[in-house]
Amino acid sequence: MANLATALKSEIARIARKELRDEFASLRKTVTGHRTDIAKLKRELTAANQELRRLRREVARNAPAVEAAGEPDASKFRYSAERLAASRAKLGLSAEDYGLLVGSSGLSVYKWERGVKPRQRFMPALAAAFKMGKREAAARLQAIKAAAA
């Protein structure tokens, strides 16, 4: 009787393994397909992010930071990190938005507020931004973002 029970048990285990093997084979194919799709989507996302970064740089480079009309003389402009931080706070803008307004990046604005002196090419835009009001800054920022879209 023990031999019969052992033989029956091993036969049931063998048949169960055989059926599970077939089930797992189809699941493996499905999982492999999903992994392929995920890898493809990751590549597409990376490419889209790179294109977005490239376009943002291009817009920042090509977009006029501040219109030339009524722009103060940059040679008479005195830069101050505290003044920049106060101006940004007064306008209620994030560093990224303020960077768009003056034609640079948000990281640059953050560094400028920490004491790094901006390049000379940003001085006219900063001088004009210091003189802007909240509404004017919001309108120009909206125009810059609309041009980027």
Tens of pLDDT, residue by residue over 7-39, are 888 999 999 898 888 888 889 999 999 999 999
Is the whole-model pTM more than 0.75? no
Domains of the chain: 74-148 (1.10.260.40)
* C-alpha R_g of the chain: 31
For the chain, the average pLDDT equals 86
Tens of pLDDT, residue by residue over 125-134, are 898 898 889 9
Q: How many CB atoms lie within 10 A of CB 56?
A: 13
Determine the number of helices (DSSP H) and then strands (DSSP E) in the chain.
6, 0
User: Stretch 64-77: mean pLDDT, rounded?
Assistant: 53
Give 90-97 contacts, CB < 8 A, sequence gap 24+: 90/134, 91/129, 91/132, 91/134, 91/137, 92/134, 93/137, 93/141, 97/141
